[in-house]
Amino acid sequence: MAWFDWQDVFSRAVVQQLPINRSAFHPTEKADAMIETLESTQVAPETLRKIDAYWRAANYLSVGQIYLYDNPLLKRPLKIEDVKHMLLGHWGTTPGQNFIYAHLNRIIKQYDLDMIYVSGPGHGGPAVVGNTYLEGTYSEIYPHISQDEEGMRKLFIQFSFPGGIPSHASPECPGSIHEGGELGYSLSHSFGAVFDNPDLMVACVVGDGEAETGPLATAWHSNKFLNPATDGAVLPILHLNGYKIANPTILARIDHEELDQLMRGYGWTPIFVEGDDPMRMHAAMAEALDIAVEQIQSIQRKARESGDTTRPRWPMIVLRSPKGWTGPKFVDGVPIEGTFHSHQVPLSDPATRPDHLQQLEEWLRSYRPEELFDEGGRLRSEISDLAPTGDRRMGANPHANGGRLLRQLKMPDFREYAVEITERGCRGIGDTHVTGKFIRDVIQLNDDHKNFRVFGPDETLSNGLEAVFDVTQRQWNAATVDTDELLSPTGRVLEMLSEHQCEGWLEGYLLTGRHGLFNCYEAFVHIVDSMFNQHAKWLKVTSELPWRHKIASLNYLLASHVWRQDHNGFTHQDPGFIDVVVNKKAEIVRVYLPPDANCLLSVMDHCLRSRHYVNVVVAGKHPSPQWLTMDEAVEHCAKGIGVWDWAGNESSDDPDVVMACCGDVPTLETLAAVSILHEHLPELKIRVVNVVDLMRLQPKSEHPHGLSDPDFDELFTQDKHVIFAFHAYPWLVHRLTYRRTNHANIHVRGYKEEGTITTPFDMTVLNDLDRFHLVMDVIDRLPETGGQGQALKARMQEKLVEHRRYINKNGQDMPEVRNWQWSPTR
């Protein structure tokens, strides 16, 4: 069925949607009739002409941003001084995005849509900036970029100019929730935005370069998680302009039939709009958008009226148009429009090449600016009339400035979930299991506003948050069978085996003013290092923009962590995500390592209430000792770091050694070591310091949570040895403390890439972080422990041999370790 020859497309305009023959789909009558190629349109010719004028205006502004330093309205012939010295920017994607934006303006007005725009392709800045300027939102936020000649001049200069704005849909651009400097997350962000926003529609432009990335390739499957009754809709517009930086794109170079199959295989119903003749393309695109919006509305109406939420085959649009459309066809004999040569700046040298300057002027004038802008530089009202007004403008839509819509979460009192401390070190059920109940009630309390979600790659149960399933299920809209459990068309938990989707959905959810939690294995959260980086950068920049309202924090709960991956082996052992995190701006990042369940509750409560941070919480799911009563935990977490008097035995303020610990397993091993020392070297005065808030270790000058130097010295002394048992790579502690008075005496034990299939305790032995090694560390640092110390050290070495022998035979830890419990010996 070779009904399409892709090499032949650029002489005409086509809109095509084959009907699909499945009962699950709700076709409009219009779609049913579309077996044949359509070239006619039902949109009035004068509307199409207005769209074209709007498009030309946006294209004019885009070229102006890339090139012009002065003479914005071309009131005089273009001179060298009118052109920027350094030409930066990307023309290639821009005209296609301008085309889409203009058409969306019409459709928003026609159907009174609540719509935002997500710009997936890289470097579409000139388009989104130009369009928000045309619709007026840009000047409202930045009054100096006024809608007149002087404002236009400033608009042009600031683009890719020092102190100005980047070439992406950056945070500075109104209407953006997706900068897109790094490619791949446009669809995930879009789906995140429409979950629980039933009236919102996101027009998501997916670049065909971006479409090659892994995260984007799997994001198409997000439609298996969308509920047509309670969620909004995403309208993906796959923009096939055919090229990346210097290569063609895959999706532009497969058979038309294959692309159709691919989109249908992903569960979408594609509508193809293909061609290069502007007026025919306007007709085709208008038609396609009418079809798409009517199909979406029909799907939603059916689901909402009948309650039948069977997964629909949502429409999507494939727009095939030339890269650098309407730009120079040739420069110096090299074909530009429709090739990768139009990716950046087609005319590279107008300042020194008079012919380039002339060609630039012709290009600009080809949009007939005098028809578009009045004498003062304002878009003529008969054209601006195309765009919606007020908050319906995509640049002004409040969903794209999510903090405006943010509601405070209703929070249960976390103290009510407290673990009772019958005695210090009593065994808990697993810290995340306790917090699961708290999260469960957060879900329930906010059920009316549906503004809180839990995301995870199929690990919410495995991570110990099973309590949430008392009150909700996993939202899932693919097929089900009788034996399925905890699946439902609506539910607060979203699980897909893609950390990229979990992160992208959550980001989109937060950016549109809601709250959430991402639970993940510690080792595999590295999969989203780069997404975290980009989100942290977004938070940093938006925190400096007064008009951007603060959003809820991005909360990570890393529950299956490095020290309890003994059974999963070496591949699952990596605590390095926090190393990546602390590289970002101190104002944005927070890292917590609560030692027990009550501390975890206190920390989690704090994180869920916080704004505009990234909070990383590392906590265990396995049964482990409980140390602090809720009152103690609240106080300890508020301080973030503190001495555990009950564990140490210093009578004065002058210990012989400080035993510091950070993380649940290091705390356990430290206290076990302390109890051995108490028993065998009762004279030794030990101070125990526990760290919950990692950033307390940094100097106050480096991080807002940082301890002052006197406070740090107070805790860690100025000259005593500090044996520091740390959850992650040991160097991180040094990196945070290297300027502290006593740094030379801080000796850190942490994970050092030694692991295999082994027992829980043996994981710590392999990395010298176990109780026996910690005791030996103390003795090695304190020669004054003398013969008694040496005897104890020998005993510890014997213990290690005994341990090794035991586990190799029995496959589990020896009873004295397995059943160890804290008992105060003083």
Give residues with Cβ within 8 angstroms of 807, minimum separation 6.
Answer: 758, 759, 762, 813, 814
Size of the site for a second copy (CB under 8 A): 126
Within residues 378-407, the interface with a second copy by CB under 8 A covers none
By the rule CB under 8 A, 214 interacts with a second copy: yes
Distance CA 2, CA 797 (A): 76
Min dist. Cβ of residue 567 to a second copy (A): 4
Closest to a second copy by CB, 220 vs 509, is: 220
Closest to a second copy by CB, 219 vs 723, is: 219
Within residues 647-666, the interface with a second copy by CB under 8 A covers none
By the rule CB under 8 A, 167 interacts with a second copy: yes
Angle formed at CA 94 by CA 92 and CA 95, multiple of 5 degrees: 100
Contact string (CB under 8 A) for a second copy, positions 53-72, x = contact: ----------------x---
Give residues with Cβ within 8 angstroms of 315, minimum separation 6.
Answer: 17, 235, 268, 269, 270, 271, 291, 292, 295, 296
How far CA 79 is from CA of 57, 71, 74, 91, 356, in Å, comes to 21, 9, 10, 21, 11
Beta bridge partners of 611: 552
CB atoms within 10 A of CB 218: 18
Closest to a second copy by CB, 480 vs 708, is: 480
Contact 581, 568 (CB under 8 A): no
By the rule CB under 8 A, 473 interacts with a second copy: no
Percentage helix, strand, coil for the chain under 3-state DSSP, each rounded to 5: 45, 15, 40
The helix-helix angle for 499-511 and 186-194 (nearest 10°) equals: 50
By the rule CB under 8 A, 263 interacts with a second copy: yes
Closest CA to 200 of 450, 469, 498, 33: 450
By CB under 8 A, name the one of 487, 782, 791, 800 that touches a second copy. 487
Within residues 435-454, the interface with a second copy by CB under 8 A covers none
By CB under 8 A, name the one of 55, 60, 138, 729 that touches a second copy. 729
Q: For residue 543, what are its two tokens?
A: 């925190």
By the rule CB under 8 A, 699 interacts with a second copy: no
Min dist. Cβ of residue 516 to a second copy (A): 19
Contact string (CB under 8 A) for a second copy, positions 220-259, x = contact: -x--x-------------------xxxxxxx--xxx-xxx
Q: Where are the alpha helices (DSSP H) in 112-243?
A: 125-134, 137-141, 149-158, 186-194, 214-219
By the rule CB under 8 A, 527 interacts with a second copy: yes
Min dist. Cβ of residue 185 to a second copy (A): 10
Closest to a second copy by CB, 273 vs 527, is: 527
β-strand pairing of 493-495 with 554-560? unpaired
Closest CA to 6 of 266, 322, 382: 322
Min dist. Cβ of residue 135 to a second copy (A): 23
Contact string (CB under 8 A) for a second copy, positions 572-591, x = contact: x-x-x--xx--xxx------
Closest to a second copy by CB, 37 vs 530, is: 530
Min dist. Cβ of residue 163 to a second copy (A): 5
Contact 567, 592 (CB under 8 A): no
Give the interface segment with a second copy, choosing from 83-91, 352-360, 703-711, 719-727 (CB under 8 A).
Answer: 83-91
By CB under 8 A, name the one of 413, 654, 753, 784 that touches a second copy. 753
Give residues with Cβ within 8 angstroms of 173, minimum separation 6.
Answer: 125, 128, 129, 132, 138, 165, 395
By the rule CB under 8 A, 735 interacts with a second copy: yes
Contact 60, 309 (CB under 8 A): no
The helix-helix angle for 771-781 and 664-680 (nearest 10°) equals: 60
Closest to a second copy by CB, 20 vs 429, is: 20
Min dist. Cβ of residue 258 to a second copy (A): 5
By CB under 8 A, name the one of 70, 111, 181, 404 that touches a second copy. 181
The DSSP element (H or E) to which 441 belongs, if any, is: helix 431-445
By the rule CB under 8 A, 354 interacts with a second copy: no
By CB under 8 A, name the one of 570, 632, 720, 768 that touches a second copy. 570
Beta bridge partners of 235: 203
Give the interface segment with a second copy, choosing from 442-450, 640-648, 704-712, 735-743 (CB under 8 A).
Answer: 735-743
Q: Cα 437 to the chain's mean position, in Å?
A: 26
By CB under 8 A, name the one of 11, 21, 651, 819 that touches a second copy. 21
Distance CA 371, CA 580 (A): 52
Closest to a second copy by CB, 42 vs 571, is: 571
By the rule CB under 8 A, 209 interacts with a second copy: yes
By the rule CB under 8 A, 638 interacts with a second copy: no
By the rule CB under 8 A, 4 interacts with a second copy: no
